[in-house]
Homo-oligomer: A and B are copies of this chain.
Amino acid sequence: MTAASKKWVYDFTEGNASQKNLLGGKGANLAEMTNIGLPVPPGFTITCEACNAYRVEGGFPEGLLDEVADHRKHLEETMGLQIGNPKDPLLVSVRSGAPFSMPGMMDTVLNVGLNDESVEGLINQTGDPRFSWDSYRRLIQMFGKTVMNVDGDLFEEALEEAKHEKGVTNDVDLDVDDLKALVKTFKKIIKKDAKKEFPQDPTDQLHDAIEAVFGSWDNKRAQDYRRRNKIDDSLGTAVNIQTMVFGNKGEDSGTGVAFTRDPASGEKKPYGDYLENAQGEDVVAGIRHTLKLQEMGKVQPKAWKELNAHMATLEKHYKDMCDIEFTVEKGRLWLLQTRTGKRTARAEWEIAHDMVEEGLIDEPTALRDRLTADKLDEIFKPVIEAKVKTTSDPIARGLNASPGAAVGRVVFTADDAAAWAEKGERVILVRRETNPDDYHGMVASQGILTSAGGTNSHAAVVARGEGIPAVCGAAEISIDRKAKTFRAGKVTIKEGDYVTIDGTDGTVYAGELPTERSVLDAAMLGQKRAQNSGLWRAFDRFMKVADGKRSLRVRANADTPEQAKNARVRGAEGIGLCRTEHMFMGEERVEAVRKMIFAQSDEEEAEAYAELLPLQRKDFEGIFKAMDGFPVTVRLLDPPLHEFLPNHVDLEVEVALVEAGAKRMGKKKLAERKDLLSKVRELREDNPMLGLRGVRLGIVKPGLYAMQVRSIVQAAVKLKKKGLDPKPEIMIPLIATAEEFVRMRDELLPVVAEEIEKAGVDLEIPFGTMIELPRAALRAGEIAETADFFSFGTNDLTQTTYGFSRDDIGKFLAMYEELKLVGWNPFVSIDDVGVGRLMTIAVEEGRATNTHLHLGICGEHGGDPMSVTFCHKLNLDYVSCSPFRIPTARLAAGQAVLGDAQSSSK
């Protein structure tokens, strides 16, 4: 279709609610309401396509202004009035309306059609000079700010000054002369600031306002909003031109916003605000004191009754909670807009549940359309009490790395965190960054705050894994480790001072703010009172529906029995990633681990393994027991060995100080330290992420993986003999070539066979690999010839595919998101066209050579709804995520099936 042949404009009577992409949400709903007989002021909608044509061509597309003129004429005929008629003018509003709701992000101009002449006509029409001049004043103010880019504060200041001069505080106390004077002042402001006159020609006003709305699609805050909400930039906005009705025509007029149910609690009762004798923007702006919606019944009983009837109609029609803007003009109720009402995560569940009970919607609809998997986390987390939260100022902001609120006393080292916690203190661990050595202190903390590192830094990953609230990369705070203080702006926090962090929004507060545990969390852990709550009933109901629908299994990333139990409570069907690095940490193991690292002979190395084996067997026993009956995928040791050694720089400094005589140390001790240093230097790597780790460790230290596998099998055998049903799976990390996998498998299968034979039990242990390097994805067909399963390690796969080190992206990723150089943070949601393309290759080619290949994902993405949907489409067998994200993954996996069904039924 050529541009010229397109229909650019639709009358409200022409459209319907399904045409959101063409008419925008508002336009489609105005048309829908019009057509179901609700009292909507007449008008028409310019399509989103027109906006996009305008953006491409840099001006109105051919035919648009002609269509606008036609529809204007039709509207004028319908109303019996003309825009700009000096005797009896028709006034219109010009409002944006995109396919997705972007509240307050784009522009609106009201009262278009008023000028120095038609203001008199309006007086003539209404008999109300004050109202008329006030309307004109509002037009100039809004038009000046929105269309002519005049600094809005200039108008507000002039208005304040006028009130001040008159000695009044309320706009309504200004009289006609005051308003006339203000009109003059406003016009001067425009002339001075915009170097142009306020346009008197109503057609100019109309066209300029349309252009301003088109342009507002690309303003910065709208762009930011879309980026945050993953809304496509190419959609464009529609423009709605609608007959003005007035809530500011006196005491029998007013305006309001109404939700058909409570958007915070979900309770089934109307909720909103009503403002007497006012225009809509006065409510939104929140400047004047409003009545609660229920109080409207007292002042406007007829309109209130009508509104309740219309709300019922709307809910029945839309089958959802609606958000309505309305105006009462001299006792007559007009509906100006409706849309699906935004609501809290909690209200989502309660409303969905109630509506299913009421028969408005069925369960699949509720599951598919009414519940946001991405927001489920929120209702699980402890929160800062709402009232306190709104009245407290954060001292710093960072990344919302792990949700929930936490309160504690500040410590600056992991050892202090562990020691203080031991003594019963609640602590917040504050660090520049964390590393695996800090693990014991991290898990002992209530919350973690770092000044560096991104949402996938070590701190963030561990925190999410453990369900510990964390704020990361709070660049505003500056830590002085020696002095044991940190600064945030002008505030200095000392060790032992209380702080509160909110990992849900990334804020940090000084002092001890009150928090509360979430109802769902309490219910899941078995608290009866919580299980009687409406929220739990709703949650329980829909999770069962989701579980019944989904084809993806959901496993947990869990490394300890505690995490495994936690995951089971939340519905995990196994462990998809059991990391083993913590089994090489802790005081009783450090000696053996160093012996293993530094072994000069095979015998020494074997000794080290002999010491580690029984300890690790016990670790595995605990985990397999906690996951009894479900598969547990154990990843053999992955991180580079220097993670198990002291910090290189600290050691260099220490040795240098001793050698310079500035620090005392015995000769023998010094020799030991120097020896350790030379080994640390030897193991030091320029890019440890791409160095000697993963399967490369297994190749270079063949006894290492054999020891791990032996302890896994021995643990499983032991439980099996006790009548339990352990299901270990062995996973080799960081495979780049099929040959690596084959070699490891050939070395380890005999170990498995030997232990099973020795025990004489019946046990089958699958061998698989992570797919976490591009080359593994590209060679998946070959790797699948001998692998029983693949697990996509999308953290590393994203790192290598992008060449982004997640420990170092803090320096640029925020800017990349800001500038839209990435569609979104690829460590949060899978980069479908890059990383996802490699996954697709691996799935297709892996299954082509091995039809029994079992496929999962164990990167952080496994708990991200958008990524879960992608995994469902890829037809994976399971996703694995941190225990606290299990409900989210279950829900998203159920929704993905329904989304599929919907799109395939189209």
Contacts and interface: CB of A to CB of B under 8 A. Distances in A.
Given A662-B662, A802-B736, A803-B736, A690 B648 contact: no
A60 interface: no
Interface in A800-859: 800-805, 807-809, 811-812, 815-816, 819-822, 831, 833-835, 837-838
A779 interface: yes
B686 A737 contact: no
A753 to B, nearest CB: 20
Contacts of A548: none
Nearest to A813: B696
Interface in A730-749: 734, 736-737, 739-740, 743
A455 to B, nearest CB: 16
A803 B657 contact: no
A696 B803 CA distance: 11
A778 B800 CA distance: 13
A812 B701 CA distance: 11
Contacts of A820: 739
A700 B778 contact: no
A152 interface: no
Interface in A685-730: 685-692, 696, 699-700
Contacts of A739: 819-822
| Most chain B beta carbons < 10 A, residue from A685, A779, A803 | A803
A670 to B, nearest CB: 15
Nearest to A681: B432
A906 interface: no
Contacts of A649: 648-649, 652
A802 B773 contact: yes
A689 B687 contact: yes
A269 interface: no
Nearest to A796: B803
B652 A691 contact: no
A737 B821 contact: yes
Contacts of A838: 774, 778
Given A687-B808, A812-B699, A774 B801 contact: yes
A367 B775 CA distance: 35
Nearest to A836: B778
B808 A743 contact: no
Contacts of A833: 778-779
Contacts of A835: 775
A365 to B, nearest CB: 37
Nearest to A809: B691
A528 interface: no
Given A662-B662, A811-B691, A685 B737 contact: no
A715 B796 CA distance: 43
A661 interface: yes
Contact of A805 (B691, B737, B743): B691
Given A739-B821, A834-B778, A805 B690 contact: yes
A799 interface: yes
A821 B740 contact: yes
Nearest to A779: B834
A220 interface: no
Given A740-B821, A821-B739, A778 B686 contact: no
Contact of A804 (B736, B804, B808, B821): B736
A4 interface: no
A381 to B, nearest CB: 29
Contact of A819 (B699, B775, B796, B816): B699
Given A661-B662, A815-B699, A687 B807 contact: yes
Contact of A656 (B653, B661, B803): B653
A663 interface: yes
A660 interface: yes
A820 B743 CA distance: 10
A663 B692 CA distance: 37
Contacts of A653: 652-653, 656
A690 B691 contact: no
Given A653-B656, A660-B662, A699-B816, A775 B796 contact: no
| Most chain B beta carbons < 10 A, residue from A685, A690, A700, A799 | A690
23 contacts: A653-B653, A657-B660, A657-B662, A685-B807, A685-B811, A686-B805, A687-B690, A687-B805, A688-B808, A689-B805, A690-B800, A690-B804, A692-B811, A699-B812, A700-B811, A700-B815, A739-B819, A772-B803, A778-B833, A779-B833, A796-B803, A800-B801, A800-B803
Given A648-B649, A656-B657, A699-B821, 17 more contacts: A653-B653, A662-B662, A686-B689, A687-B688, A687-B689, A687-B805, A691-B805, A691-B809, A691-B811, A734-B803, A736-B834, A740-B821, A743-B819, A772-B803, A774-B800, A775-B835, A800-B800
